[in-house]
A and B are shown apart, each in its own frame.
Chain A
């Protein structure tokens, strides 16, 4: 029997990994992957919490998170394709077309 805090630590580590990826990587594909990792960390937290209190709601929420991640990924990939059509490469720092032009 693993202690109930272990998945929490894992979830925290996953989330921080995702966050680090989001802040540090410039490739937009990796940025999307980092977001997925952070969503998975949240899902793991739901499942672990459901197991801790013997409540199925955690698993239901996990399914919602999966849906959310799928929908988000679909939009993200579309945007990615559009950016690829307009810019030479998928650089997050170069994709600043919505900035407030001076």
Chain B
């Protein structure tokens, strides 16, 4: 039964995309919006039905496979297009479809009156369909199709307002940077398929366990290549530069990219292939160090951004850094739990940011906002809940529980654990500071902007639902001193194994509770003392310019990659190898010019040459 329904989950959004893409022009906007949101909503409904049946009675082996077609069958390699549903992909599917549906619903009102309304929903539906294919694929090759589909859709949506060349540039950047990472991923897939003969995930992992020794060269290299692909999609340093620029798209698109689709693909990839990554402990170290770097870099950059969406973009990088931190610690469940809470509160934050800016004539500069608490109470409360969750304020927010789990796992990791925990707790402090910096600047103080319009039900309903979930969902999995609920871990146990309950020293949970609160207090102190406002007034110093530009990664790539590349292009444009053969041409042309002078058409000159030639011949014969 589940298997019969499963194909509908990616199929419905795909159908919506096809319908909207083919005849979106002739459909009225209301119908286009209904198809766009409805198809994802229906997919969400199907996913929910599947989940409820699963809850009622899990299928044998906790796996449902729907073999749709055989893609290719070659000697030594075959691939099939099949859907693979286990608790991990079920979780991803639920988040993608349900959060995605709320974002679609929000979009129907947010984008009202825009040109290309149906085009927008066609892209959005395709985006969700590609992401669902990615998480449901049984075969890495099919997953790669979804992987690239997500990349294409992000390109289309970031550049949705293509009238402005800057948006097109941002879209190209997001596509090219992730493509560069995808090359590494493709190399990893080639390596796996050549070595193991299949890319079907479960047989492949079994073959890897049978053929390869843990820590050997082959699994390490394969895992590293796949990790680079995941880094690119998940915007981890140093391949993160596309994410802040991707804010050029409409705000609900940012919500979709950051919460439900795209950037979590890297996390999912590692969790899906955790059998492979467990065989490559060196790569887990790399993951951990990359995560430490990313979460600190992004948190520092977020401290000085003036665009509300860029603050959120850097916070996403930082939070995905936490997920990778958990992955580096081998705590797959913690990573997925943080993914779940992050999907909810980041969608909430982006949608509230969209709700704020749509009332302010799309003003995104937080320094020009202020005092909006009374003007926009719905946006205020939902943004506050989201920011609390992002800052991981204890007990009241979902982010607290998941971050606690991540930090606990980091602490318990032998080796790098202490470094990871210190970085994580520092990042938590910075997160609280920058997220409440945005809250204070936007909502407190005197009103400085004109507010217009009002919210319809399709704006406030998604905000309220997401806010309620962001408050409550953390209780699925609580630390030992808060009841020790393990509903989430129990659900994932068939795939990821039963979670080991670590005995943590008191310091870990206490620090996890105190540090975010301290961050909020510090942020408030800086707000009251005018430090944040000074950022808008005073000219930027070296440090702030450095952080504001994303720690100079763009400039670094400009110097190390873009300039040499453009130089090479400029050199090769003149085709230096071809110049070599121009010598032949030049010799032939010179000879031609010289000889053609003899073709004067003068009869007597020809005769004279004939005489001279004959005389020379005779002289040669006589005297030689």
| Secondary structure type dominating chain B contacts | helix
A68 at the A/B interface (Cβ < 8 Å)? no
B607 contacts A23, C-beta separation under 8 Å: yes
A96 contacts B604, C-beta separation under 8 Å: no
- Give A5-50 interface residues, CB cut-off 8 Å to B: 19, 22-23, 26, 31
A100 contacts B596, C-beta separation under 8 Å: yes
Chain B neighbourhood of A31, CB < 8 A: 603
Chain A neighbourhood of B604, CB < 8 A: 22-23, 26, 92-93
Residue from A19, A26, A97 in contact with B601 in the complex, judged by beta carbons closer than 8 Å: A97
B599 contacts A100, C-beta separation under 8 Å: yes
A69-102 toward B: CB 8 Å interface, digit per residue (1/0)? 0000000000000000000000011011111100
CB B606 to nearest CB in A, in angstroms, measures 10
CA–CA, A100 to B602, complex, Å?
A: 11
Chain B neighbourhood of A99, CB < 8 A: 599-602
Chain B neighbourhood of A19, CB < 8 A: 611
Residue from B596, B602, B608 in contact with A96 in the complex, judged by beta carbons closer than 8 Å: B602
How many residues of chain B have a CB within 8 Å of chain A? 10
Chain B neighbourhood of A23, CB < 8 A: 604, 607-608, 611
In the complex, residue of chain B having the shortest beta-carbon distance to the beta carbon of A97 = B601
How many residues of chain A have a CB within 8 Å of chain B? 13
B611 contacts A96, C-beta separation under 8 Å: no
In the complex, residue of chain B having the shortest beta-carbon distance to the beta carbon of A96 = B601
CA–CA, A6 to B607, complex, Å?
A: 28
Chain A neighbourhood of B611, CB < 8 A: 19, 23
CA–CA, A96 to B599, complex, Å?
A: 10
B322-354 toward A: CB 8 Å interface, digit per residue (1/0)? 000000000000000000000000000000000
A95 contacts B603, C-beta separation under 8 Å: yes
B607 contacts A22, C-beta separation under 8 Å: yes
CB B524 to nearest CB in A, in angstroms, measures 88
In the complex, residue of chain B having the shortest beta-carbon distance to the beta carbon of A35 = B607
Q: List 11 A-B contacts (CB under 8 A).
A: A19-B611, A22-B607, A92-B602, A93-B602, A95-B603, A96-B602, A96-B603, A98-B601, A99-B599, A99-B601, A99-B602
CB A45 to nearest CB in B, in angstroms, measures 15
CA–CA, A61 to B601, complex, Å?
A: 33
CA–CA, A19 to B611, complex, Å?
A: 9
Chain A neighbourhood of B596, CB < 8 A: 100
Chain B neighbourhood of A95, CB < 8 A: 601, 603
B587-613 toward A: CB 8 Å interface, digit per residue (1/0)? 000000000100111111001100100
CA–CA, A46 to B182, complex, Å?
A: 92
- Given contact pairs A96-B600, A96-B601, a sample of 20 additional A-B residue pairs in the complex whose CB atoms are under 8 Å apart: A19-B611, A22-B604, A22-B607, A23-B608, A26-B604, A31-B603, A92-B602, A92-B603, A92-B604, A93-B604, A95-B603, A96-B602, A97-B601, A99-B599, A99-B600, A99-B602, A100-B596, A100-B599, A100-B600, A100-B601
CA–CA, A31 to B608, complex, Å?
A: 13
Chain B neighbourhood of A26, CB < 8 A: 604
Chain B neighbourhood of A92, CB < 8 A: 602-604
CA–CA, A97 to B604, complex, Å?
A: 14
In the complex, residue of chain B having the shortest beta-carbon distance to the beta carbon of A22 = B607
CB B591 to nearest CB in A, in angstroms, measures 14
A41-68 toward B: CB 8 Å interface, digit per residue (1/0)? 0000000000000000000000000000
